[in-house]
Chain A
Amino acid sequence: MIPIEVSGLKKCYGSLKAVDDISFVVNKGEVFGLLGPNGAGKTTTIEILEGLRAKDGGDVKVLDLNPWKNGYELHKKIGVIPQEFAFLEKITPREAILYYADLFDVKVNPDEILKEVLLEESAKTNFDSLSGGQKQKTGLALSLVNTPEMLFLDEPTTGLDPNARRAIWEVIRGLKTKGKTIILTTHYLDEAQQLADRVAIMDHGHIVAMGTSDEIIAQHGSGERLEIHGTEELAHYIKTNTELHIEFYRQRSVISIALKKKGDALSALEAAEQSKMDYGEIKTRRDSLDDVFIKLVSGKVDEHGEIVENGEDKSKPNDKKRR
């Protein structure tokens, strides 16, 4: 049995197509990341999988169940942390675990779960006095009470400081080694790279790329690039005097040239020399997942998940800024 099968999934809010015909599978024991900026449709997708939202079209199966119709049954087998996990204010993590154990009618050792999510020292603090990271960990703890086969983590580290994020990653890695199937959404690229075996990059309701990091880079990256530290005039000169594909990063003053063959680098440098203009450091590099992501979602994503127009002010020499 494949734990999650999604095909042709659609969901609209009025005229907005939040999720527009997406398909993917998540395999057993895999950590699958849905990566994308805010409004890409990640949360809508994961909530449909959890049975918290109805779909408009397509097929969804989670653990062989229809999540919307068989939600009650499904919820006994899965663990979920919604985005910005909130809980009853005047309850301690330990009490919350026992409460969930009562609701699920299971026997648990709360201290064991608290240890698993690294929350032992705050076991007896009221929820409203916990830090953001401790609240998320409480959410993780609760999602484990029913010893689920699958975990759904919706932006588990959004808004947390770097230390708290790393602590949550530690917990998630621990769960992965225990063989849990995990699907997580995030707009942090490093989070997806750190945790996910496979990633689906979402933008405007579509999946624009899917696979391991290497697969995505191989498929969507532009291969090797030559970067020259120089002015926009120089970039323009090289562009008009060669056949090369050139982009200019205004903030860093970097001219970036896609190398279809090694010789392209030579043509670019010849043009630079001919221009009699000054230029600085020269280096070659390959596209990272970061570069591919920026290209695919047409912009860089800031720490709140919003697209910053055109990443770091990238432009084609002499072109008006896109969009």
Chain B
Amino acid sequence: MGSGKRILSDFKVFSRGYLRNRFGLFFGLIFPVILILIFGAIFAGSGTSAVNVYVQNQDAGPFASPQLNIAQQFLTALNSSGTAKITLVPDSENFSSYLASHSASDGIIIPENFSANYLAGNGVNVIVYGNPASSTSSIVSGTVNGVINYFNLNYYKQNATPIISIKQTTVNTQQTKYIDFLVPGLIGFAILVSPMFSLVNISSDYKKTKLFKQLSLTPLTKMEWLASKILWYIVLTIISFVLMVTVGILVYGAHITLTPWLIPFLLIGPTLFASLGMLVGTVTKNPETAGVIGNIVTFPMMFLSGTFFPISIMPQYLQTIAHVLPLFYIIEGLNNVMVYANYAGAIIDLAVVGAITVVIFVAAVKLFKWRED
């Protein structure tokens, strides 16, 4: 009973002090939300939106009936592919200069008498502009190729039903966009950064200013002290979680599943990194060294654990490194829960994180000294 009362009392004092410090508040709550807004804006829609393609249709007809306007049908087919979005360029423009002046590299020219030549069975070229270095150009040429093949087939065997066609089936993962990965990633970021930096800072600073000694003269125990810090960072993480999810959903329409499965991650994550921060602050001699070691431990985790982008896009050796970083399992777990609904995977992630947390927590408490020998 006494212990719980002391933890609460210390919690009250610490959280009040935290809220009075605008910098901490910014870093803990506002900063992750700003990150979501920035990264969300940078990559907004990049996963699904069609590539913009400039088209100059030089086939002006005349057409006896709209059915004979093959050029128009070709463009309609292209537009309905979903991967290319057509913007028409007037005939009067020089196409190359037009692309250049619009900073675009993807374009198509439908030549004069395209429809007539097609109907007569004469060969005809569609001119595709593209930059080989750009990922969008390959999408455009691929799409154009597909449409051309369709039209070629149709020419040889009018009104035939295609032998091979595609039937679209929607899978859960199929809809994931960058923002869907970003929200769990940045929640992982918040779980890491605030408790970690804070505890590195506090534990080395309290040692230097002898605040630990001062506290050791009260009935507060070091376990109670650490418990109150962990409690606060769990509260902070949950507030931060709510803010980030709200922004992700409202601003960017993130597809996120909210289930009770998230709770263990929000409890264990801050516990792990508060303990790790404590450990770093405890084993280092002064705040300067603690800061450096803290950064060495924190930064690789911040970038290699799938925080800002999925680790699958990283080279293999970096992925291997990612697998020894505790934050990786938290973010993978959050992705498993929030994006893929893969609860079996989440349990494994939880088990790994849980085991690491126990080790770090015990080490921090063992090595952390109120007083000196």
Contact = CB atoms under 8 A, between A and B. Distances in A.
B218 A104 contact: yes
10 contacts: A52-B372, A53-B373, A71-B371, A80-B214, A86-B209, A89-B21, A90-B16, A91-B16, A99-B12, A105-B5
A80 B216 CA distance: 11
B1 to A, nearest CB: 10
Contacts of A76: 219
Interface of B: 2, 5-6, 9-10, 12-14, 16-18, 20-21, 209-211, 213-214, 216-220, 371-373
A50 B6 CA distance: 22
A260 to B, nearest CB: 49
Among A54, A83, A95, A102, the most chain B Cβ lie within 10 Å of the Cβ of A102
A204 interface: no
Contacts, number: 72
A81 to B, nearest CB: 9
Contact of B214 (A78, A87, A91): A87
A103 B211 contact: no
A75 B210 contact: no
B17 A105 contact: no
A90 B9 contact: no
Summarize A's interface: helix, strand, loop or mixed.
loop
Interface of A: 50-54, 71-72, 75-76, 78, 80, 82-91, 95, 99-100, 102-105, 126
A316 B14 CA distance: 60
Contacts of B18: 90
A85 B219 contact: no
Summarize B's interface: helix, strand, loop or mixed.
helix
Contacts of A103: 6, 9-10, 218-220
A99 B20 CA distance: 17
Given A52-B217, A90-B20, A105-B2, 6 more contacts: A50-B217, A75-B218, A90-B16, A90-B21, A99-B10, A103-B218
A86 B214 contact: yes
Contact of A90 (B17, B209, B217, B371): B17
Contact of A75 (B5, B21, B209, B217): B217
A286 to B, nearest CB: 41
Contacts of B20: 90, 126
Contact of B213 (A72, A82, A90, A104): A82
A72 B217 CA distance: 8
A90 B23 CA distance: 12
A102 to B, nearest CB: 4
Contacts of B216: 52, 71, 75
B371 to A, nearest CB: 5
A83 B209 CA distance: 10
Given A52-B216, A72-B219, A103-B219, A86 B211 contact: yes
Contacts of A105: 2, 5, 219
Contacts of A72: 219
A85 B2 CA distance: 27
Contacts of A52: 213, 216-217, 371-372
Contacts of B373: 53-54
A91 B372 CA distance: 26
B33 to A, nearest CB: 23
B371 A51 contact: yes
Contact of A88 (B9, B211, B371): B211
Contacts of A88: 13-14, 17, 211
Contacts of A80: 214, 217
Nearest to A95: B13
Among B209, B214, B371, B372, the most chain A Cβ lie within 10 Å of the Cβ of B214
A89 B13 contact: no
B6 A102 contact: yes
Nearest to B209: A86
A84 B217 CA distance: 16
Contacts of A83: 210
A84 B17 CA distance: 21
Nearest to A101: B9
Contact of A102 (B5, B16, B214, B371): B5
A75 B213 contact: no
A221 to B, nearest CB: 37
Contacts of B214: 80, 82, 85-87
A53 B219 contact: no
B218 A100 contact: yes
Contact of B372 (A53, A86, A87, A104): A53
A88 B212 CA distance: 11
A104 B219 contact: yes
Nearest to B24: A90
A53 B217 CA distance: 12
A78 B219 CA distance: 12
A87 B211 contact: yes
A255 to B, nearest CB: 47
Contacts of A84: 209-210
B177 to A, nearest CB: 41
Nearest to A105: B2
